[in-house]
Structure 1
Amino acid sequence: MLKDLTLIVDARTKEAGSYALSLAKLIDAHLTLFLVDVETALATYSMAELRYDLILAEREERREAIVTTVTRLQSQGKAQGLSVDALHLEESNEAEIGRLNRTLRLFDLIIIEQAYGEQIGERARMIEAAIFEAARPVLLVPNIQTTPPSLKTILVAWDGSAPAARALDDALPLLVRANHVEIVEVVTKSSVPCDEATLMRHLARHGVDAVFRQTPSTGDIGNTLLSHAADVGADLLVMGAYGHSRLREAFLGGATRTILECMTIPVLMSR
């Protein structure tokens, strides 16, 4: 069950906040705001090249933005009758990222906004750490997301691998709520035949009425998945995460950057 959610909040979190609140309301879950203060605009400069007062001013501006976001989300949550609390991670250095992951393991689902703009480096680092080291499913919300969560149509990327199986299992509490669940296999030259009957029987025993489809790869599996998601009007994409922490390796054989940079719908990833 997904009863204990956490949203990673930094100075530039926008669309993921409202999405997380609505999701918690939809599935009757608790939401914890995990405040993370990360370096953004200063990341591309040597600290020695900047005046100390400018460094302090940028940090203060960042922290004020985080406080404003948290205050707004807690107020909105209270108005919706939600239980919303907050935890604070002071800095995003290596030691603190390790502590972040140890704490994230105590939640059912991690929600974070897609990396974009000036904060892409630091937030991408947090996303990678959460996916590969927190041992929990991560729900990525597009920075263009303006609509509340809908579970009408969920698309599950399947290749029979361990990460794909973990993602499928992690998503079951959401799949049982969906009106339509489609399991899609992107067919490549190296694809291994899927035991479709056993997969469908497994889902049916969990109360999930799903369909199985195969689609040929267009050369980039990430683009193939996103294109198919658009064709079927998917509200959520579920997929296994492949690769190694910090290495920007592939999801489903080569789709990391495609999914992380071009996602147009929320994506639940599990490792």
Structure 2
Amino acid sequence: MTYQDILVHVDEHPSSKPRAAAAAALAARLNARLTGVFLKSEFLRDAMVAESLAYMPPDALQALIEEEAAARLQASEAARGIFEAEARRAGANSDWLVVDGRDQELISCARRFDLTVFPPIAKVSLSLNDISAAAVALGSGGPVLVIPESGAPPALAERVVVAWKGSRESARALRDAWPLLSQAKEVHVLIVSPRGEGGPDGLLQRHLENHGLKANLIVDRSHDASAGQILRDHVAALKADLVVMGVYGRPRLQELVLGGVSHDLLSDPPCALLISH
């Protein structure tokens, strides 16, 4: 498996630059095509919740619509400038998309790519709507590379921690991460097991070796910290620049329900996260 098509969310804010740079560097390294995506708001759909608009004179409403359209175009062009500058700097082949900023539109788009690069929470430009990386991972059927606001090193995935618990989600995340794991200098597989289950796994070790990986298996039986904190501690001690983990949870109505470790790390990522469901 490899990543041939990579999608990255970019908006008009400077905080998009480290994410665009990380995605462009990865695309250039893997010889993949990179597509930047801007999430646009629909003014009438978003704004008509304000009842006062219904009483505006037609000419005033038209002027407001045109002003908002110009602001959306300006934001989109600013985002495109950030994206294209980073793609050129990295030497990555690139495309540009503008899609509706509703969750399902973006998730549907992400299903057409091998990897989506996303912030923990993406704000839709000029809108109150936002979309979480967890929602994209739960809905898209593919891996999501979450880049924290501080960015990621150009040689991302030199030191990787795989959070393993033997579940379907863990196995899916491991498989989705092969293109990055195969290039890593160090791979550490962490099993958090306070009650002693899930010790050193010979089949897992052999599976990794069959993929050319000599991974270090770590079993942490700590009782005095949450699994999320234990994972954070190992990331810091190992100086890891990527965590591979399954996302546990489901979207219910309009509220996203996540498992404890997923919520912990996605709310404040200690480094880049490769998440999958």
Q: Report if TM-score (shorter chain) is over 0.5.
A: yes
1:255–1:168 Cα change, 3 Å = same
Partner SS for 1:255:
helix
Within the candidate set 2, 14, 17, 1:14 is matched to: 17
1:205–1:261 Cα change, 3 Å = same
1:84–1:187 Cα change, 3 Å = same
CA offsets 1:25-52 (integer angstroms, 9 cap, x no match): 122211011221248xxx8996346886
Residue 203 of structure 2: aligned partner: 198
CA offsets 1:100-142 (integer angstroms, 9 cap, x no match): 322211211010122289989743x342331111001001000
**Superposition pairs for residues 17-166 of structure 1, below 5 Å?**
17-38=20-41, 47-48=50-51, 57=67, 60-89=70-99, 91-93=100-102, 97-115=103-121, 122-123=129-130, 125-145=131-151, 147-166=153-172
C-alpha contact 1:5 1:24 (8 A) present in aligned 2:
yes
Residue 235 of structure 2: aligned partner: 229
Larger radius of gyration: 2
What amino acid sits opposite 2:91 in the alignment?
A: G
How far off its partner does 1:170 sit?
0.6
CA offsets 1:169-210 (integer angstroms, 9 cap, x no match): 111111110110000011234x74256111010011011110
1:122–1:209 Cα change, 3 Å = farther
How far off its partner does 1:218 sit?
4.4
C-alpha contact 2:121 2:132 (8 A) present in aligned 1:
no
Please, what TM-score do these two structures have when normalized by structure 2? Answer: 0.82
What 5-or-longer segments of structure 2 have no aligned partner? none
Please, what TM-score do these two structures have when normalized by structure 1? Answer: 0.84
Residue 275 of structure 2: aligned partner: 269
1:205–1:78 Cα change, 3 Å = same
For residues 163 and 146 of structure 1, what CA distance do their matches in structure 2 show? Answer: 24
For residues 148 and 63 of structure 1, what CA distance do their matches in structure 2 show? Answer: 30
How far off its partner does 1:227 sit?
2.1
1:211 aligns with 2:221: no
For residues 144 and 44 of structure 1, what CA distance do their matches in structure 2 show? Answer: 32
C-alpha contact 2:164 2:191 (8 A) present in aligned 1:
yes
Partner SS for 2:177:
helix
Residue 249 of structure 1: aligned partner: 257
Identity score, percent: 28
For residues 136 and 153 of structure 1, what CA distance do their matches in structure 2 show? Answer: 22
1:260 aligns with 2:266: yes
